[in-house]
Chains A and B, each alone.
Chain A
């Protein structure tokens, strides 16, 4: 799965969890850019992404992402393990 496919899949997970059909993510998107991306939704997103990609993040991954691109990095690394 290439980065674009990962990003598109992550985008769909965000749309489902945040209940916002118009949401368009880029690798530069941060929590500041998405109104509903708060601490609780962050957890919902993490677990929904884990389920979608059948991966498991380490707790340090979850806290360290500064933007969607870094989230995609973590997913790509897990998929390549």
Chain B
């Protein structure tokens, strides 16, 4: 049987040859593990699309619309050195409050999970390291669950008796994550994390590609530190130099992210900084090519002495 991802690559190459060329560079990198995960992912996703009377071709169109947005934002970013929006209210009006934009954007992002090499590599980093925290994790919180893929993997990997909580500001996201995980063990909260009050401390918190969407990521990290249990683990990811219609906080380098992690009272246990293109780190810095940073961090107890 043909891998769905090959059909998607070929279709994109037909509709947008220049972008297809960029994606095809990934194929040489992908191994059996990739195809196993990608096949399972697209099988589940195609089922969700079918339940909504939509096809994979629809999702491909959504993805290409998102790419057109990313390209336009990248041109502006390279010209000005800034993201085009800097406040939550601006992106709320441009993106979150517009259902038609949210619709193609969410589907585009889902597709990118296995079309962009760095998105696959970061989820692989998460899946490969999460089992080490299984024994200590009795409560799992995900802030901004997106399409629910990380959550679905946490449900697979962590203890059967662990509790699972999601806090997400987007109704679209929650609906999609519910469809994706189909598991009544998860408590979903449609809420801004700053308004989320819980006496409970969580043993494991996932904060995947959220920091770039907020005006004050340090404030969010401090809040997360507050709801993390004493020996708990935070898994966070965020990109550098990655313009998008709803990114407002620009991290110019991984060092800047590391500094913020430390200032928020965490120490880094394990990290990756993935280049989004096959270039040397020097060229990436020169051309301001995006990287995706990810880390498992714990509370830095020395910071409180």
Query: Nearest Cβ distance between residue B256 and chain A, in whole angstroms?
Result: 22
A40: chain B residues at CB < 8 Å are 22, 74, 277, 289
Q: With A39-B71, A40-B277 in contact, do A47 and B79 touch (Cβ < 8 Å)?
A: yes
Q: Is B21 an interface residue (CB 8 A)?
A: yes
Q: Is B287 an interface residue (CB 8 A)?
A: yes
Q: With A17-B287, A19-B283, A50-B79 in contact, do A43 and B71 touch (Cβ < 8 Å)?
A: yes
Q: Is B183 an interface residue (CB 8 A)?
A: no
Do B72 and A38 touch across chains, with their CB atoms under 8 A apart?
no
Q: With A19-B283, A47-B79, A50-B79 in contact, do A42 and B18 touch (Cβ < 8 Å)?
A: yes
Cross-chain pair count, CB within 8 angstroms: 41
Q: Is B175 an interface residue (CB 8 A)?
A: no
Select the residue from B18, B67, B279, B283 with max chain A CB neighbours within 10 A.
B18
Q: Is A46 an interface residue (CB 8 A)?
A: yes
Q: With A17-B287, A19-B283 in contact, do A47 and B22 touch (Cβ < 8 Å)?
A: no
Within the assembled complex, what's the spacing in Å between the Cα atoms of A62 and B72? 10
Please report which residues of chain B, range 74-88, place their CB below 8 angstroms from some CB of chain A when the two chains form the complex: 74-75, 78-79
Number of interface residues of A (CB under 8 A): 17
Q: With A47-B75, A62-B75 in contact, do A39 and B18 touch (Cβ < 8 Å)?
A: yes
Do A44 and B16 touch across chains, with their CB atoms under 8 A apart?
no
Please report which residues of chain A, range 12-36, place their CB below 8 angstroms from some CB of chain B when the two chains form the complex: 17, 19, 31-32
Within the assembled complex, what's the spacing in Å between the Cα atoms of A44 and B276? 14
Can you name the residue of chain A whose Cβ is closest to the Cβ of B16?
A39
Within the assembled complex, what's the spacing in Å between the Cα atoms of A47 and B287? 10
Within the assembled complex, what's the spacing in Å between the Cα atoms of A59 and B79? 13
Query: Nearest Cβ distance between residue A55 and chain B, in whole angstroms?
Result: 12
Residues 215-244 of chain B, each 1 if its beta carbon lies under 8 Å from chain A, else 0: 000000000000000000000000000000
Contact of A46 (CB < 8 Å), options: B25, B75, B277, B287: B75
Q: Which B residues are closer than 8 A to A by beta carbons?
A: 16-19, 21-22, 25, 67, 71-72, 74-75, 78-79, 277, 279, 283, 287, 289
A-B contact pairs, 21 of them (CB 8 A): A17-B287, A19-B279, A19-B283, A31-B17, A31-B18, A32-B17, A38-B18, A38-B19, A38-B21, A38-B22, A39-B18, A39-B71, A40-B277, A42-B18, A43-B71, A43-B74, A43-B75, A44-B78, A50-B79, A59-B75, A62-B75
